[in-house]
Structure formats: C-alpha cells, structure tokens
Amino acid sequence: MKTTKFAIVLATAAIGVPSQSLSAAAPTKSQQRGSVISVESLGALSQITLQKIAAELPGAISVKQGVELSRITYWTVFKGKPTKVSGLFVAPVGGPPPKGVVMYLHGTNNTRALSPSQPDRADGDTEAAVFGGNGYFVVLPDYIGLGVSHEPHPYIIAKPLVDDSIDMLKAVRQVARDRKLGWSPNLFMMGFSQGGQVVAGVHRVLDRRPLRDYRLKGSVGIAGPYELRKTSLRKAVESQCLKCTGYLAWGASAYSFYYGHPLSDALKPAYVDVVPGLFDGSKTMLQIGAALPAKIEDMFQPQFLAAMQTNGHNWFTKALDRNETYRWRPVAPFRLYYGEADRDVTPAASAAFFNYAKPRSGNISMYSLGPIDHQTSISMAYAPVLKWFTEMTDTDAR
C-alpha cells in the first residue's frame, strides 16, 4: 500500500525544487530520448507475495503469477537538455506471453528515496501485484528530480513529465526486445493525483501522435488536478491549511525556476532562500512542514496572494493555465474516478475535464467511488480498473 502522506496529497497546485545546473552539451546519438542507459535487477516477487499485497485492497483481486523487477535508467529531455532519469519496470514470469503494458503514473512524492525504483518505494509493489501478477508489463516512471535524477522536479508542469513518461515507454520497448521478453502493443495507463494530471497529458499526446510499437487502449485518471487555476489553486488558497501552504510554496518555487521568474515576486524575503531547498528531494514531510508557516499570508507577498485569491493575473496564475490537461477530446477511452469526500484534490477538477470533453464528443466517462477521501480513492480504484483493462484485453483476443 502507499506510504506517502504529505507527499501524495501535495498534488493540487504546484511543482518544483531548487535550481541546479543542467548539462549544456548537445545530445549525442546515445543520448536520444528513450535510449536505455542501464538496466538493474531489483529482484523478484512471488505469486504468493503479490497475492498478499493484493489482498489488502478492496475487490478480491486474484494474482496469477510472479514478477521480476528492474530499474531502467534512460534519457529524456528537460528544458532542452539531455537528462538521465529512471523508473521501475515489472515483467511477469511463469505465465503466457504478456497481455500488454500498463503505465502507472504516481501521485506527488517530495522524497527521492520513496521513488518507484528505490528500495523504500511508495509506489510499485501494489501495481506489480494487481497488473504484473495478471500478465501485464508494468511501467512506473520515477519522474524528473526523483529516482536517479537530481534535477528540479517539475511538479505539475505537464510537458517535461509527459516527455519523461513517453520516453520510458520507448526504453521499455527496447528492453523487452533486447531481452526477448515477448510483446503485445496494447497500452493501458493509470494515474493517481499528480499522476492523473500527467496521464491526461500523455494520453492527449498519444491520441494525436501514436507511439511506435504501442496501441493506446484506454486510460484512467484518479483524483487528478486536470484544471489547475480555477479549481486546484482556489482550493489550496481557500483551505488555509499547512499542507495547502506546502502546495503553493512548492508551486511558486518550481514555476519560478522553470519559467525564469523571480521568486521574490511571490514570497516574502524570509522564505525566498528557504523554500527551494525544502523541495530538493531530500526532505521529509516533517522537515518541510516544520519550516513553513501555517498561514499562507505569512509566506506570500500581499499583491501576489491577492491575484491567486481573486483569479487575477501574475506569472504563476498564467503558468497554471499553460499546464492544464483538461481542454481536449479523448479519442481512445478515458475514465475519470473520484472520491466524493476528497479534500485534497477537489472532484470539481474531474468534472471540469468531463464537462469540457463530453459535449465535444470526447470518449470520456466519469465514476464516483463513493463518499471517500483522496487516499482511499486509489485503493478503491484498482479492482475496477483491472476489470476494465482485462475486458479490453479479452475483447482483442476474441
């Protein structure tokens, strides 16, 4: 089960980490996006072990086989420069050829040690049980700034996270080919919280520009912040809670770095040098919380805060608009799941996506998981998502 608390619920309105130097060299042929740098074995999980993991979830999920785990390190691009990143690759063993690939895009994680490809991972084992244990390759990007990467994590910045995710799909295809693991082009995607926003962005790109050797079958977004400015930002500003201060601090810091704006425009002097270092991937939620004020107005410049409170314009609110992933029409089916009692990512974000796409003939549907909170929504979603993916797989087989 998931272990991140502050990490996962930080998926409402932000991004980021401190500025670090990026390689200035032009990419060589070996640094092309999706090229594999290394593959490291992380061991195996037996069918019995995976069944115990799956038994903790609602829905009586059955696991049919064991899996082998690997960390793939590969090349992506960040701010125009070649960047080393990593992710977890799960290959089923002891069964028929793979049914396809499930890419899981995880929720917010502010601590590098909890990345999917790390030993203390917060995400990966559950997905290995539910999907790998039922015959699918499973792919979990760590994200830029996590795993082996020490670049600033572009939290809720759509393009670099979408690029990273697509590049891992390319790397996985190379590994499967090199190791003669078998292949099915069926691609399924699932994203939770921050990952819901990312999966929408990846799906949007693949609908328009299909990826070689893959056939996008369908995607699921669970409690994702697809609409950032009017729903997620407003929620964070109005809630006046410590974790909301964290959302906004991280967002302002990361947007400042990525788009090149002075952080002093946003934060009061006492926090300008403090905030970036809180989100460098090395800090725990307790360390971050202890360094931030409980009230948003104690951290933000009054004029900057006023723009966030009134839907006004500054470089932060304008950049949030640039990173929405809801104003498009899915071609391959896209399902939205949400918890009615979610206080971290408001269900209004899912509704914004649905209400935009459905009247425009988008292949989209929306499902309530009941009166549950943010964290419970991901646990509740695994069984219906597996059922849907299996139905689509079985339809192809007939």
Give helix 315-322 / helix 302-309 axis angle, nearest 10°. Answer: 40
What pLDDT score was predicted for residue 30?
Answer: 81
Full domain range(s) for residue 201: 6-227+323-397
pLDDT in tens, 18-42: 333 333 455 676 899 999 999 999 9
pLDDT in tens, 199-251: 999 999 999 999 999 999 999 999 999 999 988 888 888 877 778 888 889 98
pLDDT in tens, 341-350: 998 899 999 9
| % of residues, the chain, pLDDT over 70 | 92
Tokens at residue 218, please? 């369908």
Check whether 157 has a pLDDT greater than 70: yes
| % of residues, the chain, pLDDT over 90 | 81
Check whether 135 has a pLDDT greater than 50: yes
Task: Flag whether 297 is in a domain.
Answer: no
Q: What is the CATH number of the domain that holds 68?
A: 3.40.50.1820
pLDDT in tens, 291-318: 999 889 999 999 999 999 888 999 999 9
Instruction: Report the predicted TM-score, pTM, of the whole model to 2 decimal places.
Output: 0.91
| Number of independent structural domains in the chain | 1
Regarding predicted confidence, which is higher, 8 or 188?
A: 188
Check whether 8 has a pLDDT greater than 90: no
Task: Flag whether 287 is in a domain.
Answer: no
328: confidence class by pLDDT, cuts 50, 70, 90: very high
Helix segments in 292-373, DSSP class H: 302-309, 315-322, 348-357
Edge-to-edge strands, sheet with 215-222: 36-45, 66-78, 81-93, 137-141, 101-105, 186-192, 215-222, 334-338, 364-368
What pLDDT score was predicted for residue 28?
Answer: 73
With vertex at residue 29, the alpha carbon angle to CA 27 and CA 35, rounded to the nearest 5 degrees, is: 90
Cβ-proximal residues to 310 (8 Å cutoff; 6+ apart), any chain: none
Task: Flag whether 32 is in a domain.
Answer: yes
pLDDT in tens, 254-301: 999 999 999 999 999 999 999 999 999 999 888 998 999 988 999 999
pLDDT in tens, 37-71: 999 999 999 999 999 999 999 999 999 999 999 99
Task: Flag whether 263 is in a domain.
Answer: no
